[in-house]
């Protein structure tokens, strides 16, 4: 027993459990990516390597109209989501951080609630809102973007506030002492210092939008508003080709590349330890 | 800098956004759930609380009290979430413990491996298993060859050879574990990482065996992390409908999320769907506020 949980040793069974867990969590996805390169129509039998499902003349990510449309729509929503949630979130974070007096706690709770609300509740609520309160807006691209912003906003606020806390108020106060008016303190001192947080939250909002499924599905209207996630849901159990794996792989590469790039930029601006905190906050 | 109103003005667009698209939209659920429906069974929301009609709510509650189908779905959801959560903790705790306290130089890489699944599209992770568990899939073959398939059939957890995706409750539960465990491991990791090594050393110096040092120091100190992480994964599990849809596609494994999805998005019983959404939210609101309170307390503790 003593070997089992020795706080100073490195028990073998813990190494084994961790290694098995990591293999179990990554291998299935790695195999799904492998099958995106299958030279045949099967998603379960390996028939040799090929990139036909990415670039082939028929049924590939590059040439199939449905796949093309879903990828474009996914990226369009992601850009809309970043464009709206980052300015809204950064200003909300600034306002909340300096909020004096009543109401701050309530607004803070309101801001955090979307992070813990099950997505189906938000999906149903927004669906009924767009059907019954804003019938003129209706369902479709605008509704989908609004829905995604509603839950990505909180992530932007949390990341920005983390950075605001670590900057402190000294720079602003120094600018004020040197006679900078409030507007300049904000635009020429605080915002540049916030740049790493803005980049990080833009990347997170982008990735969250691409990976989102429930809210996007609830607020979709017709086939033209189908995203990659919705396509995966609709076709996973059917008998499609490895093109489905290929388009999932493309979306995955875009997501991970965006996050990786943002992480590198963030680390150039800020120390490694703080970057690690930011990664943890991305939860 | 600036007056207090400058900052509130800056917060205004965000607050307005959340008020309309979060608060008002949730009020729309109440107005529909406590409203009526027209002859085409389209919802007619009652916006004035004085007009509220509890008829549809009573129908659902009556069903639950009288052991009707909604009760079955509610209890099944509760059982699925409880079992999936217990399995996730059994796997996730040792992994988080090793990564945070025993990994040594490889810690950075292990942490990266624990974070990556977090950012892989949930549906792609399910697609991966659907391919593996198809009757001729690689996973089905491996499970057959190592005898797990036979074990599951003997235990009554699988009804036929290679039938992993034909509406098996065990498959749905394992898919939930696979889907949500990354969201549990990271809070567990953070909680275990915060424990001061010297407290464990003190216990050892005072004569505690390694096991009792773990049981009486490390484990109790990690309880807040266990609770916070459990809430964090239980909440989305309670609202899940796509996992059962994808790996089972049978009404025998319907969770409350499937019922809500069928009523609201797919079907035309939006009023009953809104009632179920309202009841689910009321139950989960307790968990949501518990989580927000504990994380705020943890943030205050680290700040001081």
| Contacts B225 to A, Cβ<8 Å | none
Minimum Cα–Cα distance from A230: chain B residue = B123
CA B133, CA B164: separation in Å to the nearest integer?
Answer: 6
| Contacts B116 to A, Cβ<8 Å | 26, 256
Asked if B286 and A116 count as a contact pair (C-beta separation under 8 A), the reply is no
CA B137, CA B233: separation in Å to the nearest integer?
Answer: 29
pLDDT computed for residue A1 by the predictor: 42
State whether B119 and A91 contact (CB < 8 Å).
no
The partner residue sitting opposite A109, judged by closest CB among B236, B277, B292, is B292
pLDDT tens for A47-57 read 899 999 999 88
pLDDT computed for residue B304 by the predictor: 47
State whether B91 and A17 contact (CB < 8 Å).
yes
Mutate to test the interface with A, among B21, B196, B276 (most CBs of A within 10 A): B21
CA B248, CA B241: separation in Å to the nearest integer?
Answer: 11
CA B219, CA B277: separation in Å to the nearest integer?
Answer: 36
Residue, of A17 and B41, whose pLDDT is higher: A17
CA A75, CA A251: separation in Å to the nearest integer?
Answer: 9
Instruction: Quickly state the pLDDT bin for B1 (edges 50, 70, 90).
Output: very low
pTM for the predicted model, two decimal places: 0.91
Nearest to B99 by CA among B199, B179, B173, B184: B184
Nearest to A22 by CA among B106, B194, B231: B106
A123-146 mean pLDDT: 93
Average pLDDT across chain A, whole number: 88
State whether A110 and B43 contact (CB < 8 Å).
no
State whether B22 and A150 contact (CB < 8 Å).
yes
CA B274, CA B272: separation in Å to the nearest integer?
Answer: 5
pLDDT tens for A159-186 read 999 888 888 788 888 888 888 887 788 8
State whether B1 and A7 contact (CB < 8 Å).
no
Mutate to test the interface with B, among A120, A155, A161, A186 (most CBs of B within 10 A): A120
pLDDT computed for residue A272 by the predictor: 53
Instruction: Evaluate the CA torsion angle A228, A229, A235, A241 in order and state its sign.
Output: positive
Lowest-confidence segment of A100-109, A146-155, B94-103, B145-154 by average pLDDT = A100-109
A64: left (phi over 0), alpha (psi -120 to 50) or beta: beta
pLDDT at B298 over 80: no
| Tokens standing for residue A276 | 């690690």
For the A65-281 domain, the top CATH level (class) is: mainly alpha
State whether A92 and B11 contact (CB < 8 Å).
yes
Instruction: Quickly state the pLDDT bin for B130 (edges 50, 70, 90).
Output: very high
pLDDT computed for residue B291 by the predictor: 87
pLDDT computed for residue A192 by the predictor: 87
Nearest to A132 by CA among B45, B222, B98: B45
* Strand ranges in A37-178 using DSSP code E only, listed in sequence order: none
CA A131, CA B20: separation in Å to the nearest integer?
Answer: 14
CA B298, CA B168: separation in Å to the nearest integer?
Answer: 40
CA B261, CA A269: separation in Å to the nearest integer?
Answer: 44
| Tokens standing for residue A242 | 């490895």
- B27 sits in which H/E element: helix B25-33
B103-117 mean pLDDT: 88
pLDDT tens for B46-75 read 998 888 989 899 999 999 999 889 999 999
Asked if A14 and B218 count as a contact pair (C-beta separation under 8 A), the reply is no
| Tokens standing for residue A34 | 């492998």
Q: How far is B159 from chain A (nearest CA, A)?
A: 19
CA B92, CA B87: separation in Å to the nearest integer?
Answer: 8
pLDDT computed for residue B296 by the predictor: 75
CA B147, CA B159: separation in Å to the nearest integer?
Answer: 15
Sorted by where each begins, the domain ranges of chain B are 71-267
Minimum Cα–Cα distance from A112: chain B residue = B292
| Tokens standing for residue A77 | 């929503």
| Tokens standing for residue A115 | 């992070």
Minimum Cα–Cα distance from B177: chain A residue = A25
| Tokens standing for residue A61 | 């990510």
Instruction: Evaluate the CA torsion angle B151, B153, B158, B164 in order and state its sign.
Output: positive
State the angle between helix axes of B169-194 and B122-132 in degrees (0 to 180), rounded to the nearest 10.
Answer: 130
Minimum Cα–Cα distance from A32: chain B residue = B128
Nearest to A198 by CA among A162, A225, A228: A162
Tell whether B280 is within 8 A of chain A (Cβ).
Answer: yes
A56-85 mean pLDDT: 94
A48-87 exposure pattern, b = at least 16 Cβ within 10 A, e = fewer: eeeebbbebeebbbbebeebebbbebbbbbbebbbebbbe
| Tokens standing for residue A190 | 């605080």
State whether B6 and A182 contact (CB < 8 Å).
yes
A40-51 mean pLDDT: 89
- Superfamily classification of domain B71-267: MetI-like (1.10.3720.10)
CA A243, CA B226: separation in Å to the nearest integer?
Answer: 40
CA A211, CA B195: separation in Å to the nearest integer?
Answer: 33
């Amino acid at each position: 027993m003593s070997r089992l949980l020795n706080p100073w040793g490195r028990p073998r069974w813990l190494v084994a459990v961790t290694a098995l867990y990591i293999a179990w969590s990554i291998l299935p996805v790695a195999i799904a990516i492998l099958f995106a390169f299958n030279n045949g129509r099967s998603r379960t039998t390996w028939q040799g390597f090929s990139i036909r499902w990415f670039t082939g003349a028929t049924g590939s990510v590059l040439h199939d109209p449905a796949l093309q449309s879903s990828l474009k729509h996914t990226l369009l929503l992601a850009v809309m989501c970043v464009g709206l949630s980052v300015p809204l979130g950064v200003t909300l974070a600034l306002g909340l951080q300096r909020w004096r007096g009543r109401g701050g706690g309530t607004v803070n709770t309101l801001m955090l609630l979307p992070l813990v609300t099950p997505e189906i509740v938000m999906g149903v609520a927004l669906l009924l809102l767009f059907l019954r309160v804003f019938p003129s807006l209706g369902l479709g691209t605008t509704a989908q973007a609004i829905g995604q912003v509603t839950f990505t906003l909180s992530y932007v606020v949390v990341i920005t506030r983390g950075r605001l806390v670590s900057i402190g108020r000294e720079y602003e106060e120094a600018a004020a002492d040197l006679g900078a008016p409030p507007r300049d303190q904000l635009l020429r001192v605080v915002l540049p210092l916030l740049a790493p947080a803005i980049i990080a939250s833009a990347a997170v909002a982008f990735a969250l939008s691409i990976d989102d499924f429930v809210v996007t599905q609830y607020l979709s209207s017709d086939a033209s508003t189908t995203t990659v996630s919705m396509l995966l849901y609709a076709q996973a159990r059917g008998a499609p080709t490895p093109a489905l794996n290929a388009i999932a792989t493309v979306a995955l590469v875009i997501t991970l590349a965006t996050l990786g790039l943002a992480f590198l930029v963030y680390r150039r601006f800020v120390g490694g330890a703080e970057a690690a905190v930011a990664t943890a906050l991305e939860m | 800098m600036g007056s207090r109103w400058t900052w509130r003005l800056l917060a205004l667009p965000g607050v307005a956004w959340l008020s309309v698209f979060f608060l008002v939209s949730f009020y729309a659920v109440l107005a529909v759930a406590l409203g009526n429906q027209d002859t085409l069974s389209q919802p007619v929301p009652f916006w004035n609380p004085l007009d509220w009609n509890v008829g549809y709510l009573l129908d659902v509650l009556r069903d639950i009290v009288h052991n009707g189908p909604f009760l079955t779905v509610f209890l099944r959801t509760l059982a699925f979430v409880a079992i999936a959560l217990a399995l996730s903790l059994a796997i996730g705790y040792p992994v988080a413990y090793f990564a945070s306290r025993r990994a040594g130089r490889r810690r950075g890489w292990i942490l990266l491996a624990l974070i990556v699944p977090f950012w892989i599209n949930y549906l792609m992770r399910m697609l991966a298993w659907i391919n593996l568990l198809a009757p001729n899939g690689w996973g089905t073959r491996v499970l057959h060859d190592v005898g797990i398939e036979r074990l599951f059939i003997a235990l009554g957890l699988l009804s036929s050879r290679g039938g992993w995706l034909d509406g098996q409750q065990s498959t749905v539960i394992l898919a939930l574990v696979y889907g949500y465990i990354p969201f549990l491991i990271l809070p567990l990791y953070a909680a275990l990482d915060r424990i001061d090594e010297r407290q464990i050393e003190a216990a050892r110096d005072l004569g505690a065996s390694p096991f009792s040092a773990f049981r009486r120091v490390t484990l109790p100190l990690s309880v807040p992390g266990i609770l916070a992480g459990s809430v964090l994964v239980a909440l989305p599990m309670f609202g899940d409908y796509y996992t059962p849809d994808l790996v089972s596609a049978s009404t025998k494994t319907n969770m409350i999320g499937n019922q809500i999805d069928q009523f609201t998005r797919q079907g035309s019983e939006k009023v009953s769907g809104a009632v179920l959404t309202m009841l689910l939210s009321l139950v989960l609101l307790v968990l949501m506020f518990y989580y927000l309170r504990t994380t705020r307390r943890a943030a205050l503790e680290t700040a001081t």
